[in-house]
Amino acid sequence: MAYNKFAGVYDRLMSDCPYDKWIDFILTKAGDIKEAADGACGTGNIAQRLALKGVKVTAFDISNEMLDLAQEKARKNGLAIRYLQQDLTDFELMHKTELVTVCCDGINYLIGEGELHSCFECANRALNEGGMFIFDISSEYKLRHMDGQMYGDDSEELAYIWNNSIVNDVLELSLSFFCRTNNGLYQRFDEVQFQRAYKYDEIIKTLEETGFGKIEV
């Protein structure tokens, strides 16, 4: 998933996301850490908040467009975050770290056979002894109840229509955006994304298979 034009509207769509509460939760669990890696970092909202707390952060994403925006925001805020273009299923850090995070449903975008296992293996390999992997998902219950649902919103600058359909365990999110241009007209672009509905037992089993213990939900 390489997002393309979607990167440019991502922060507007996520403007009500409680990032600061997420950071409080993460740091309460992880304790007094010095270094962390943030996977599927998007436009850098988690990575930058970790950096503002004094954590040395390496962040990565598969999308060049997302990374460009993240780097621009970090520069404006004077934050020295190391950004890399890497995939969740095949990432490697220069040295081990104390914490790996994957937020904002990043895990759900691992839809291929074995991709969840590969991601968890990479995360385990990236961590120091006793390090912590923290991630969130959209639950199977949530994604299955989105089947057939349509969402929408409009403002002066941006409107969108969002349709959902699920086949087996994969939800297709079909989005149409209408962005206001400088001349007052609206330009349309479409985006199709896919999320996998992972079962609770599947997540736990895969964590155990890839060497994780002390698992909390």
Contact status, residue 140 vs residue 119, Cβ threshold 8 Å: no
Structure token pair of residue 190 = 């479409």
Contact status, residue 86 vs residue 60, Cβ threshold 8 Å: yes
One-letter amino acid of 6 = F
Question: pLDDT (tens digit, 0 to 9) for every residue of the chain, 217 residues total?
Answer: 444 578 888 888 888 899 999 999 999 999 999 999 999 999 999 999 999 999 999 999 999 999 999 999 999 999 999 999 999 999 999 999 999 999 999 999 999 999 999 999 999 999 999 999 999 999 999 999 999 999 999 888 899 999 999 999 999 999 999 999 999 999 999 999 999 999 999 999 999 999 999 999 9
Residue 14 has a pLDDT of: 87
One-letter amino acid of 171 = L
Q: Please, which residues have CB within 8 angstroms of residue 47's CB and are 6 or more apart in sequence?
A: 38, 41, 57, 59, 70, 74, 81
Distance of CA 135 to the CA centre of its chain: 9
Q: How far apart are CA 209 and CA 217, in angstroms?
A: 17
Residue 2 has a pLDDT of: 44
